[in-house]
Amino acid sequence: MSYLEFLGQYGDRILSGTLVTIVLTVLAAVLAVAIAVAAGLMRLSRNALIRGVATVYIEIFRGTSLLVQLYWIFFVLPLFGITLEKFTAGFVAVGMNLGAYGAELVRGAILSVPKGQWEAALALNMSPAKRMYRVILPQAVLIMLPPWGNLLIELLKGTALVSLIAVADLMFQVKQINGTTFLSAQSFGTALIIYYVLARFLLTPFMRWLERFMQRKLGRA
């Protein structure tokens, strides 16, 4: 079977898998950003309890494997009465894992906003919440966008693991195709190229665009 015939026969399955991977990536990214901002801010709280909760969360999710967390959420959480459908379990695990890594980026970026900005906001009598949302966070976003680009590529790669709990993403589809045709180079090779294209020609340019957009918004273009 030539490679073109292979694509003709299995192209639609590969395409549907790719779409599932993209949807998973977007959902997990939204969750990861929300968790990262929340946990990152909690880590900077003056309240030791709030700080402690965030630290425990971050250390647990950064200290164990994504695969362990995924299996735990999918197989063990139902025993506590929380049953997640496999698709949900998949993006929740990926989002919670990468959110823990993102929290450290958020914390670092907030701390690296120049001290004068905090003092100026204080001098203008801004409330702490207003200072954070109007002065500190927008500048912190600009600082943390480049490392977030790398993190989102990690997130995209992480979604491949959900195939192990039978979510029909790209990885799962090519594994199935490989199982029936034994054309490993074609099936796994195609998937490798698709992941590469998604990361390099979709995710990376999007993050570049976002950086330029934020720079213009802050008048730093």
Positions touching other proteins (CB under 8 A) are 59-60, 63-69, 71-72, 75-76, 79-80, 153, 156-161, 163-164, 171, 174-175, 178, 182-185, 188-189, 191-192, 195-196, 199-200
- Min. distance of Cβ 120 from other proteins in angstroms? 29
> Measured from the CB atom, is 45 or 65 closer to other proteins?
65
Q: 7 or 183, CB closer to other proteins?
A: 183
Residue 64: CB minimum distance to other proteins, A: 4
Nearest to other proteins of 13, 175 (CB atom): 175
The one-letter amino acid at 192: L
Least Å from the CB of residue 144 to other proteins:
18
Closest by CA to 152, choosing from 111, 89, 95, 69, is 95
What gap in Å lies between CA 197 and CA 202, rounded to an integer?
Answer: 7
| Shortest CB 76 distance to other proteins, Å | 5
Taking each helix axis as running N to C, give the angle between helix 86-111 and helix 48-63, from 0 to 180 degrees, rounded to the nearest 10.
120
Closest CA to 117 of 143, 88, 78: 143
Closest approach, Cβ 35 to other proteins, in A, equals: 18
64/45 Cα distance (integer angstroms): 25
Of the two residues 111 and 214, which places its CB atom closer to other proteins in the complex? 111
Helices (H), the chain: 3-43, 48-63, 66-71, 86-111, 115-123, 128-130, 137-158, 170-181, 184-198, 204-217
The smaller minimum CB distance to other proteins, of residues 26 and 76, is found at 76
